[in-house]
Amino acid sequence: MNLESDLILVVHPIAVHFAVALTCCALILDWVAHWRQRAEWRFAGRLCFFVGVLALGVTVGSGWVEHLFPRPASVFDAQIEGLLFYHEYGGYGVLGFFVTLAVMRARLPEPLPVPWLVCATIGVLGVLGQGYIGGEMVYRYGAGVRAVQVLSERPHEHKKAPEEQSTEAGTSDK
């Protein structure tokens, strides 16, 4: 892996934070604007929503680029591959859903109708689900984590589960 690929690989973890935060904020602002009919809430919700859809586009694009890069072998490859399948196609689905919502929103008069708000709520749940799966891949199975890959290259030295090793270490210290 060289510097260029290292730089490209940080785009996805950065972009997801914008996508999650902006779509969630937009939803809250839109629901508040629905109850309190104020132009400021509507404007803030609209701004967050459209920038959020843009961030989702960058997230999906960077995720797609990232999955094209060869990943060093890991003992958790099977689990990562399984999750990546749902993560990738779920990501395309969520983006498609939000682009549809954006096209509808651009044509809808304010205040937004409740069915649209309900669909946006479902979409945000989809974004959160995607974040959860991405987190599972990285923080449970170490997708793209250098330390996991290094340890996977020397499986004979790490046959025991971490709990057993720490207990053993604790006992031998005494």
Q: Which chain residues interact with ligand HEM by CB under 6 A?
A: 12-13, 16, 19-20, 56, 59-60, 63-64, 66-67, 87-88, 91-92, 94, 127, 130-131, 134-135, 137-138, 143-144
How far lies 163's CA from each of 92, 108, 139, 168, 170, in Å?
A: 38, 56, 17, 8, 10
Rounded to 10 deg, the angle between the 11-35 and 39-68 helix axes is: 160
- The CB-of-139 to ligand HEM minimum distance in angstroms stands at 7
State the minimum distance, in angstroms, from the CB of residue 43 to ligand HEM: 25
Question: Between helices 114-135 and 11-35, what is the axis angle to 10°?
Answer: 150
Q: Is the Cβ of residue 73 or residue 114 nearer to ligand HEM in the bound state? A: 73
Taking the least distance from each CB to ligand HEM, the nearer of 88 and 110 is: 88
Work out how close the CB of 10 gets to ligand HEM at its nearest, in angstroms, rounded to a whole number. Answer: 8
Give the count of alpha carbons within 13 A of 160, CB side only: 8
CB-based contact 20:131 (threshold 8 Å) = yes
Question: What is the smallest separation between the CB atom of 72 and ligand HEM, expressed in angstroms?
Answer: 12
Dihedral angle sign, alpha carbons of residues 60, 64, 69, 75 = positive
